[in-house]
Amino acid sequence: MAYSYKGAISFGLVYIPITLHAATKENTINFNLLDKNTMSRIQYTKSCVNCGGAEVTNDNIVKGYRYDDDKYIIFEEEDFEKLKSKKDKNITIEQFVELQEIDPVYFKKSYYVVPTGGERAFALLREALESENKVGIAKTVLGTKETLIALRVLGGDLVLSTMYFYDEIQPNPIKQTTDLVIDPEELKLAKMLINNLSGPFEPEKYHNEYNQKIQAAIEAKIAGKEFSAPKDDASRSIANLMDALTESLKATTKKTTPKKRTRKPKTERPQPSA
């Protein structure tokens, strides 16, 4: 598996050279854009706005920052590298926190951390994090962007997750309805419904069913067959909130079969001693 980063983790004076390997993948079905009449693929070209739309090759494309109307300064890759300090090139743990203190909204993408040296120090960090149930918070520059990082142990593996910075989390633009008065009975039923639907998180239970439908439709079209929309379970909409909660509660209450009463064997009375 190709690595996406080569650098090092450091905490205190401990230094561990590592590589990162993607921990996730997207199971998407890709479609090409075609011309409807000729069935030819549509291509996108990079063109110059002030050159009559002439195509520009990647060799002639540079990064520019616009500081005024039609005025740019050019940044080469060497310029970005020149700005990086030794700390920027490594993953330096600055703090250890509890995992539950980090809201999931901050997490982006996860990678497996693989040591390329300092295996004892790597194993020690992994064991210490797991024993203390802590997450290491660090920063580094990945590419041309500084990234906030969380290091944690998951199933015995050291996993690095990239994170959003605090000022990248946007406030909810929709006004919250905190002024509504909640009916105590409705709240009670809602809590009961949540408990009825509660259980351990088992990710293997969840599958991309829509992908499976698309794949089946693709195979049907290739074979020249028609495909029909799948039948949904019959469901009805209930306008009254209390009625909707009550009906939902009935549908999710687990039925338990009453245990058969077993007749206890008779025990003989102890006979009085002579």
> Residue 37 phi/psi, 5° resolution?
-85, -40
- 21-62: pLDDT as tens digits: 999 988 889 999 899 999 999 988 888 888 888 889 888 898
Within 13 Å of residue 264, how many CA atoms lie on the same side as its CB?
A: 3
C-alpha torsion angle, residues 173, 175, 176, 181 (rounded to 10): -170
How far apart CA 58 and CA 7 sit, in angstroms, is 27
User: Shortest CA distance to 213 belongs to which of 200, 232, 196, 199?
Assistant: 232
User: Which residues face 92 on adjacent strands?
Assistant: 10, 139
Helix count and strand count (H, E) for the chain: 6, 9
Mean pLDDT of 121-126: 95
Query: What pLDDT sits at residue 175?
Result: 74
What's the mean per-residue pLDDT of the chain? 85
pLDDT in the model for residue 212: 86
Which amino acid is it at 176?
Q
At 94 the three-state DSSP class reads strand
Q: At what angle do helices 184-196 and 241-252 cross, to 10 degrees?
A: 30
CA 7/CA 200 separation, integer angstroms: 37
Domains, the chain, in order of start with CATH, read: 5-26+86-168 (2.40.290.10)
Helix (H, G, I), strand (E, B) or coil at 132: helix
pLDDT over 50 at 187, yes or no: yes
Q: Are 21 and 110 in contact (CB under 8 A)?
A: no
Of residues 43, 70, 63, 198, the one with CA closest to residue 143? 63
Query: How confident is the model at residue 169, as a pLDDT?
Result: 94
User: What pLDDT sits at residue 260?
Assistant: 54
Cβ 106 vs Cβ 99: under 8 Å: no
Which H or E run contains 113?
strand 107-115
User: What proportion of the chain, given as a percentage, has pLDDT over 90?
Assistant: 40
Q: What is the mean pLDDT of residues 143-167?
A: 93
